[in-house]
Structure 1
Amino acid sequence: MKNIKRSLIALFAMLAISCNVEDVQDRPVIEGVDSPVLTAPTSGAAYVLKPENAAAQAERFTWKSANFSGDVQITYSVEIDKKGNEFKTPQVIGSVVSENQVSVTVETMNKAALALKATPFAPAEYEARVSAVTGNMAPMYSNVIGLVLTPYTTENPKLWVPGGYAAASGYPKDWDPASSPQLSASGFGKVDFEGYVNFAGAGEYKFTSFPEWKGEFGEGATAGTLDPKGANLKMTAAGYYRIEVDTEKLTYKTTATSWGIVGDATPGAWDNSTAMTYDAAAKVWKITVDLVGGKEMKFRANNNWDVNMGDTGANGSLEYGGDNIKVATAGNYTITLDLSSPRNYKYTVTKN
């Protein structure tokens, strides 16, 4: 009986081995044979992307199928990267399974360009390719084509204020647009720029339309005017300046400001501002003061009402001429005023 059992076990083992060998021999070998071939668009295609067309198709990418020597499911992805970057930071703008085309919207293409640090409204060169992947195999890549993209932004336009004053005034570097303080327009497509910049002393500066030396504005022929080819602008005295620029009229205005709090909750009531102190490292105005409960306050510049800010909506954001800020209970408070982010002015009132 034992011999019969041993024989049966041996027989089943041989059958199992035989079946496994046959399965392996019959199984198709999956390997990359032919890469996909990108057939559209043609190299050099240019796209001026616009926000009003965000949902529209920017391009339909098409390609010839990859060959993995078998009937397998293939995932295709269209990638773009900056020209010359060798796809070290590719952005995927479309992906499909076992198909030979993908439609890419204006918005998708624009987001990819911005993710690659594109400068809005400025054309730049990119490269595109298609990757093909199946299972755990390494991807195969198509031919590479060149594209020219002009992306957009719906954010408020900005101006940068680089100059020789910066390092001494609490900003990272002199004459470095990327790290310099900014001015902001009132909305998308607007040309009225505003912001606040600290000057620790007299100094020279310019305006740039980008965080680099492009779209410059310098001194115009007469006071208060700008010229794209003009010399450096000059700030003649130290101060914390409100700067206003109109890039269409090519004019600018600087107003030295010294900020304080005012209101029946403050020591000076509604007649006299209680002065705040500017902290260049933190880039905020500060004061520690006793406030009266159940009363109100505002921020104002230069101890007059020409420039004042309140909080319409009681949401921590400030607006010119906004509503009075209510002080619920009496006590000693630390108050900050942050004007470092143009047109996004904030404050805090913290009881000590």
Structure 2
Amino acid sequence: MKSLLKNLSLTAIMAFSLFSCSKDSADPIGSDSANIQLSAPTGGSYELLASNANDNLFTMTWTSADYNFQAAVNYKLELVKSTSDFDSGNVGSYDLGNFSSFAGESFEKTVTVREFNTLVLAANGSIGTSESYNIRVVGSVVGQLDTSDNNLAKVYSQTVSINATAFDTFDEFERIYVPGGYQFASGYGNDWSPDSPKIAKLFSKANDGNYEGFVWMNVTSPEFKFTPGPSWNGDKGDLSENPNSFTTLDSPGKNIKPTEGAGTYFFTVNWNANTYTIAKRQVAIIGAATPNGWGTPTYLNFVTDETSPYYQMYTADLTLAADEFLIRLKDDWSQKMGTLSGNTENTTLDSQYKIKINGGNMKVPTAGNYKVVLDIRNSANYNLRLISN
């Protein structure tokens, strides 16, 4: 009997201990909302300019998250309009890096004008107008999933208010203009108007006189020329006519007349060498994530509605699976668009995801209904957005 009572008591103690451990593990570690201390910046007003996009804007300084043990922690800078909030607003996020540390250590990261401008634009900040924003630092254990039961909660710094004026990323890069007889029918303003604010442009991503880009031409017999600015001064056309050379430019030159009818054309122009290329392209999404799989592309539509937030972009509303896809530009797969790294990667949802020609496969992280938005107006910033519907 004593032996039985002793065993029962031992069992009760073990059960209590297990219950206590289970209860303790249910409490998130590091759940203090002010666990990180952001010591710089603590405020201020910043006018962001394309002319100094490469300059350092400020150096962020913050203290380590406290998880009561040495942890590898990823830190992000988050920004949202002060009229919104971090839970429901458009939040810009910038990766500050991974750091292994104990509580009380300090870290710093220099943020450039361009990087912070991207953050402001991701939060739907206005261009050329000073607005008020809130920023904070968010820490999370590296490899920790939101669905994990390890209870290692994200930790946050205090919120800091700042003012910032964003610039249009187009202003960073040299460009040439593409006036022609296709403009009005294609949503680029009046025909043969290089001064139209809606005109198609080709950008130089290295600012070295080499330009490239896509132009939608919604007429059966398009004609156009190139100009170095929003006027006819210094315009260039093809060296020959009937037929064009489709290789060599001359000033003023002859009208360039593609022979493949309406559609999207891709250009490269070496302004200094007076050479160019032109080729018709499809703009389509394809892959296991799409309704038609890898066998059949789904073509995207060019938006000509000036009131649309996707004006002069390519869009489609689709149900996508959590799987891989690409933007295909040619049926023979010689040109496609995908990840900058060339590796298969999850895209980010509801924000710009930068891509490149002949990049790697992209992946939809979560199945659902999306508006696919492809922005290829600026060759220095080809990007894709998957916007949850």
C-alpha distance after superposition, 1:13-44 (max 9, x if no partner): xxxxxxxxxxxxxxxxxxxxxxxxxxxxxxxx
Matches within 5 A, 1:1-352: 155-179=172-196, 180-188=199-207, 190-201=208-219, 202-221=221-240, 223-224=245-246, 225-236=248-259, 237-281=261-305, 282-293=311-322, 295-312=323-340, 314=347, 316-352=353-389
One-letter amino acid of the counterpart of residue 204, structure 2: A
Q: Aligned partners of 2:172, 2:375: CA distance in 1, in Å?
A: 21
One-letter amino acid of the counterpart of residue 234, structure 1: K
Q: Aligned partners of 1:245, 1:256: CA distance in 2, in Å?
A: 15
Q: Aligned partners of 2:302, 2:252: CA distance in 1, in Å?
A: 34
Q: Aligned partners of 2:296, 2:181: CA distance in 1, in Å?
A: 35
Cα offset for 1:194?
A: 0.6
Give the 4+ runs in structure 1 shifted more than 6 A. none
Question: Which residue pairs with 1:149 in the alignment?
Answer: none
One-letter amino acid of the counterpart of residue 200, structure 1: N
The alignment-based identity, stated in percent, is 33
Which runs of 5 or more structure 1 residues have no equivalent in the other structure?
1-50, 52-153
Which runs of 5 or more structure 2 residues have no equivalent in the other structure?
1-50, 52-170, 306-310, 342-346
Asked if structure 1 preserves the Cα contact closer than 8 Å seen for 2:354 and 2:383, the reply is yes
Asked if structure 2 preserves the Cα contact closer than 8 Å seen for 1:177 and 1:211, the reply is yes
C-alpha distance after superposition, 1:49-108 (max 9, x if no partner): xx9xxxxxxxxxxxxxxxxxxxxxxxxxxxxxxxxxxxxxxxxxxxxxxxxxxxxxxxxx
Q: Cα RMSD over matched residues?
A: 2.8
Asked if structure 1 preserves the Cα contact closer than 8 Å seen for 2:327 and 2:338, the reply is yes
C-alpha distance after superposition, 1:106-144 (max 9, x if no partner): xxxxxxxxxxxxxxxxxxxxxxxxxxxxxxxxxxxxxxx
Cα offset for 1:304?
A: 3.5
Asked if structure 2 preserves the Cα contact closer than 8 Å seen for 1:265 and 1:292, the reply is yes
Q: Secondary structure at the match of 1:244?
A: strand
Q: Secondary structure at the match of 2:302?
A: strand
Q: Aligned partners of 2:228, 2:206: CA distance in 1, in Å?
A: 15
Larger gyration radius, structure 1 or structure 2: 1
Asked if structure 1 preserves the Cα contact closer than 8 Å seen for 2:234 and 2:252, the reply is no
Using the size of structure 1 for normalisation, the TM-score is 0.52
Asked if structure 2 preserves the Cα contact closer than 8 Å seen for 1:155 and 1:187, the reply is no
Q: Aligned partners of 2:302, 2:229: CA distance in 1, in Å?
A: 28
One-letter amino acid of the counterpart of residue 335, structure 1: V
Q: Secondary structure at the match of 1:196?
A: strand
* Higher strand fraction (1 or 2): 1
Asked if structure 2 preserves the Cα contact closer than 8 Å seen for 1:245 and 1:253, the reply is yes
